[in-house]
A = this chain, B = another copy of it.
Amino acid sequence: MTEGSGGRIGVGMVGHAFMGAVHSHAWRSAHRFFDLPVTPELAVLGGRDLARTKAAAAKFGWTSVQTDWRELVNSPGVQIVDVCTPGDSHAEIAIAALEAGKHVLCEKPLANTVDEAEAMTAAAEAAKERGVRSMVAFNYRRVPAIAYARKLIEAGRLGEIRHVRALYLQDWLTDADAPMTWRLRKDKAGSGSLGDLGAHIVDATQYLVGDLLTGVSALTKTFVGKRPVEGGSGDLDDVTVDDAAVFFGRFANGAIATYEATRFALGRKNGMSVEINGSLGSLRFGFEDMNELWFFDGAQPADEAGFRRILVTEPTHPYVGAWWPPGHLLGYEHTFTHEVVDFLRAIHDGVNPAPSFADGLQVQRVLGAVERSAENGSQWTEISA
């Protein structure tokens, strides 16, 4: 039993901020564009504050609300639990949901610590035996250009991978007077740019390369150590996470990789980018031009060769056939719709979707190694399995 009656499946979502808004849109829209074997119902929205949760539910189209996430998780009308809270509550909610037999879609990073991520992965493995599915929401895998890049790499078009370079550059903390948020508190967010942004590029590059990082060397930095507390009292509070993290690593296959995650790259708004160089070809992607993939095909004669800008809007590209004609761009939220589509199909087909909690755990281990290296004079740090 994985679906609700009549080809419909009830969703309960915990959290209704930024991620809640975009996940709601995905649950509302997936079946409007894709042929799905099962139709999601926005059954229960969970939040701590009743009034705000009710307002969000009305806005986003949820049928009912719950202020106690345990009730939501155990609600009979809920077959899928979608965890959109800050990282410190992921483990508790996701594990409870899996144990209650609910499929779980969990926002990234999977957890704030490797320990939590291990517990979640164990719960997911156990649930899998009972046909219960789980997935971590690394939505960049569902950018059509990235999914298509993976296909090219899988088909061997890049040959042996030598270089990976990934950036995730934002600038919203550049101003030293920008106020505190939960994202700058270690107890809530686990880490700063590392977990928020670095997690995305670690997952995306491991996915693209089809291989895992085995070790890293890292440096982290907090440029602004104290910031005004929320509310405007003028008091300062300590920033307890990194503002920026730079690291390099090795893939098991011999490729070397560089990473940078920061919220201090003035002028870069959501500058997630990846370049991969292989023996036969190279690929480049930048999220600020998310409908494009740049491919250098080394098989071409030298005088004809060049990075070509593939507009990933053809019906033959991943996910695109469900949308508009060539050249009509997709945006940020489409990646979540694609995520939901793949998750629903996996549930229906009885297969395990990717990225799994185990994939999320591996990312967490990389982030953990980054932190340890940074604490130990950038010393090379193996990523323990």
Contacts and interface: CB of A to CB of B under 8 A. Distances in A.
Interface of A: 18, 22, 24-25, 28-29, 31-32, 59-61, 148, 162-163, 165, 167, 169-172, 174-176, 217, 219, 221, 223, 244, 246-248, 250, 254, 256, 258, 260, 262, 264-271, 275, 277-282, 287-291, 294-296, 298, 301-311, 313-314, 316-317, 324-334, 377-380
A377 B217 CA distance: 9
Contacts of A223: 162, 254
30 contacts: A28-B28, A32-B59, A162-B223, A162-B262, A163-B264, A165-B260, A169-B277, A174-B279, A174-B298, A246-B248, A248-B378, A258-B260, A266-B296, A266-B298, A267-B282, A267-B298, A267-B306, A267-B307, A268-B277, A270-B325, A270-B328, A288-B329, A303-B310, A304-B310, A305-B308, A306-B308, A324-B332, A330-B332, A379-B379, A379-B380
Contacts of A221: 256
Given A306-B309, A380-B377, A327 B248 contact: no
Contact of A289 (B244, B277, B289): B289
A176 B176 CA distance: 44
A169 B268 CA distance: 22
A244 B162 contact: yes
Nearest to A283: B267
Contacts of A268: 277, 282, 327
Scoring A60, A271, A309 by chain B CB atoms within 10 A of each residue's CB, the highest score goes to: A309
B378 A217 contact: yes
Given A294-B306, A295-B306, A309-B309, 9 more contacts: A247-B248, A271-B327, A290-B329, A303-B310, A303-B316, A306-B308, A306-B311, A377-B380, A378-B380
Contact of A32 (B24, B219, B290): B24
A277 B306 contact: no
Contact of A307 (B32, B296, B308, B332): B308
A24 B256 CA distance: 39
Contacts of A148: 303
A170 B327 contact: yes
A282 B174 CA distance: 11
Nearest to A269: B327
B308 A309 contact: yes
A163 B277 contact: no
Scoring A61, A260, A303, A379 by chain B CB atoms within 10 A of each residue's CB, the highest score goes to: A303
Given A32-B25, A223-B162, A290-B329, A305 B264 contact: no
Contacts of A60: 32
Contact of A163 (B247, B265, B379): B265
